[in-house]
Structure 1
């Protein structure tokens, strides 16, 4: 592979991860949890590799910066919808996880239309939220594919997912609402 081609490697890995959402969802819906866990592991490895490759090759791009969290969100969204579809989680939990993301996307679109461009990046709480959701998804899949997980651990995990989703969602709404208010009033953002 030439050096010019290598700069596309991180985005290719991210795109591959994005495409894993469909087989992941189908495997969960078919209750083939071992296969779903394997797809999840491959997605996790590709996530680590695309970040490593981007840093190592100095191949950062705005496209990659937007595609990477989109791939993560799509995998988590498909997982929660599929988990709810087979009864591993309740629909209210799936709706909260997905609803949080929809509120953030709607807020970002509104900010862009009403205020203007904004720096694209995840907050620390958002990264924590994503980590909690991924750990919970792995816990559910491992509990189905490998060894049963106590119901109390799933309940605690669900509560942590709810808390992280609410905390990061409220943080985004408050932070960006205040920023938009300052911008529209002509003040410089903090």
Structure 2
């Protein structure tokens, strides 16, 4: 197992702690755990690139770890009424859409390379910033207007990313679906 994969697994294992802290409404502790998870995310990518430790497992685990962490965060921040429900719905729906697409491609044995697009990376960045700003609210008094702007921007980029992946998925489906699957659609 490579060091980046170990760091990714650590990020996955930090998620239950983050969930517990959020359910306990310990935002400062949740902020520390989320920040630590973010550091592991940056480190695993850096180490994988610089030390040539990219792996097939890492290509699947890294985005999965991000989704587990971010979806958990958004659902609980919505539950605590710290982010708008609409943003929670958009963020979670996008990830469910992507997951449904990947499972469908695997089921029909259509080749799929897991590679995040630029808009996907921007979405992840915006979502991470949203969680960080929200969790740091007790420590830093972010203005309501700044948070509202961040929520709208995050929602918009998330929708754009979901539409982008939908279009890419349709293109890949048309290109790679097995013969005789038209009747299943």
TM-score, with length taken from structure 1: 0.87
Partner of 1:157: 150
- RMSD between aligned alpha carbons? 1.7
Cα distance in 2 for residues equivalent to 1:183 and 1:61:
24
Paired with 1:179 and 1:18, the residues of 2 have a C-alpha distance of 29
Matches within 5 A, 1:91-102: 91-102=85-96
CA separation in 2, counterparts of 1:185 and 1:35?
49
Q: TM-score, normalised by structure 2?
A: 0.89
For the residue of structure 2 that corresponds to 1:58, the secondary structure is coil
Which whole-Å deviations, capped at 9, do the CAs of 1:39-69 have from their partners, x for residues lacking one? Answer: 1111111112212222333222100111111
Shift of 1:118: 1.3
Greater CA drift, 50-59 or 91-100? 50-59
**Match of residue 25 from structure 2:** 31
1:96 CA drift (Å): 1.4
In the alignment, does 2:173 pair up with 1:173? no
- The CA distance in 1 between the partners of 2:173 and 2:140, in whole Å, is 48
Q: 1:44 to 1:185 in 2, by over 3 A?
A: closer
1:116-172 residue CA offsets vs partner (Å, 9 max, x unmatched): 11111111111111010001111111112x122111111111111110111000011
Any stretches of 5+ residues in structure 2 without a counterpart? 180-185
The question of whether the paired residues in 2 share the 8 Å contact of 1:15 and 1:71 is answered with yes
Report the number of matched residues: 179
Q: Deviation at 1:185? A: 9.0
Match of 1:90 in 2: 84
Q: How does 1:6-155 map to 2 (within 5 A)?
A: 8-114=2-108, 116-144=110-138, 146-155=139-148
